[in-house]
Amino acid sequence: MKIAHLSSVHPPFDTRIFHRECQTLAGAGHEVVLITPSNGGAAEGTIRIIQIPLPRTRAERFLRTVWQVYSAAVRENADVYQFHDAELIIVGCLLRARGKKVIYDVHEDVPQDILIKNWIPRPLRRWISLAAHWTEMFGVACFNGVVAATPKIASRFPSKKTVLVQNFPRIKELECNELTPYQERPNAAVYVGSITPVRGIREMIEANALVASSLDSRMDVAGIFDDLALLDELKASPGWQTARYHGQLSRAEVRKLLATARAGLVCFHPGPNHTESQPNKLFEYMSAGIPVIASDFPLWHKLIGEAGCGLLVDPLDPKQIAAAIEWVFTHPSEAEEMGKKGRAAVISKYNWEVEGNRLVEFYERFHSEAAHPDALPVT
């Protein structure tokens, strides 16, 4: 089949979309096209990238980029369209009206995520969240299928149309103990991902200052700042003096960075879209064989506790985060064993090889259910 992946938000080489889903479907023999905003980019391997001009503002993204994605999608005339952003639901509906098969890939619990969006005025958030919920329900009623990134997200949609494809790492992608043996590494903690206040960046940087005052240590930060004013604020803080900011990194660069770290941080604030989430970075730290220091949410407590791969903290308390980092630095043998247990859990359970096969099987049902094009049962 010819499959077109659509996004108005994500960069061309997004980990889930490009490196996992697109590459897996291309590897299964499908023709894969990715339509997304970009300043530049090209085909990589067998995947062709259709570039849409990057929007300068959110308003421009909603009013222009969405329709540019739709126009490019129509020109591609694909067999199946898989879109990745809630704002493209209207695009999905229009493609269904043209007789195309459409899949909604849901990365986040969108209605809950809206409740913590700082750029939306607080009095409007609940109303916009409710509107997002009903928009999703209307769209899903006419779409052929839903791909959900977590069990919690999957539970929101009809089971007969929904497949769970969790955002776990490939087994070999981030394996890095052979680059630098764990106990030869400097005292370095790492955070990789989107950088926002609700993902705990202020508390992590403050914790870094507390650790650096007693140990020769550093914190490595990689990713994109949602607000450049936040970067300016952090640069003025004591913790930033022993932090290293790397910007956005390629997958190969992420692997090299994790190979220099003794611990990976994922200290999200409590919130409706965080406590039931399964952050990509959590499993990537485990895959890299480093212990995790994570928010003490019930779901994460169970996951990390069962694997024995890290420490849990109050994400709003920099002193707790600092104490956990210091414990990892001062107990290298125990910390290394935690990292090994996390790596073992990825190999046995939390890996893309299993999830990718489920995605390929989901697509194969389009052939087996050809006699019933508007229904895609999934068991």
Number of folded domains in the chain? 2
**Mean pLDDT over all residues of the chain?**
91
pTM of the model: 0.87
One domain for residues 46 and 57: yes
* pLDDT, mean of residues 37-60: 82
Query: Would 377 be classed as within a structural domain?
Result: no
Alpha-carbon distance 187 to 205, whole Å?
15
* pLDDT, mean of residues 281-305: 95
Alpha-carbon distance 171 to 180, whole Å?
18
Model pLDDT for residues 6-38, shown as the tens digit of each residue: 999 998 989 999 999 999 999 999 999 999 998
One domain for residues 164 and 284: no
One domain for residues 149 and 186: no
- AA letter at 205: I
Q: Is the pLDDT of residue 378 over 60?
A: no
Query: Would 140 be classed as within a structural domain?
Result: yes
* pLDDT, mean of residues 80-89: 96
One domain for residues 15 and 164: yes
Q: Identify the band that residue 40 occupies on the pLDDT scale cut at 50, 70 and 90.
A: low
Query: Would 175 be classed as within a structural domain?
Result: no
Q: Is the pLDDT of residue 273 over 60?
A: yes
One domain for residues 257 and 144: no
Q: In terms of residues, how long is the chain?
A: 379
* pLDDT, mean of residues 69-95: 96
Query: Would 149 be classed as within a structural domain?
Result: yes
**Owning domain of residue 277:** 182-348
Q: What is the pLDDT of residue 176?
A: 74
Alpha-carbon distance 359 to 185, whole Å?
37
Q: Identify the band that residue 371 occupies on the pLDDT scale cut at 50, 70 and 90.
A: very low
